[in-house]
Amino acid sequence: MVFTDEIKDMVAKAPFITIVTVTIDGDPHAIVVGKGEVKEKDILGFGIYKMEKTQQNIKSNGKMQVVLATMEGGPKGFRLTGKACIEDKQVLFKAEKAEALL
């Protein structure tokens, strides 16, 4: 299990979450979303509002990272790495690895 209670709490409290996908040519594409939702163990869901390039990248290779950060209780953050898919107007991200940033 990748998600700790601290990561789940940070998903709920983070004011913004950064999503990074990769183009077919290997170029990173970062966007900022307002909220994410823990769907089940190690899966986050993000509502799709446009995200045209992000959707295209996910469909081509599925690679994705999510960056969570907060200043609450002192600076801390996590980089989550895994795979994503598009389902029912949501990006569903399955974390395979979590790294503490601060």
| Residuewise pLDDT in 10s, the chain (102 residues) | 899 999 999 999 888 999 999 999 999 999 999 889 999 889 999 999 889 999 999 999 999 999 999 888 888 999 999 999 999 999 999 999 999 997
Q: Give the pLDDT score at 3.
A: 95
Three-state secondary structure call for residue 60: helix
What pTM did the predictor assign? 0.93
Q: Give the pLDDT score at 42.
A: 95
Which residues, 6 or more positions from 90, have their beta carbon under 8 angstroms from its beta carbon?
45, 46, 47, 48
Q: Give the pLDDT score at 41.
A: 87
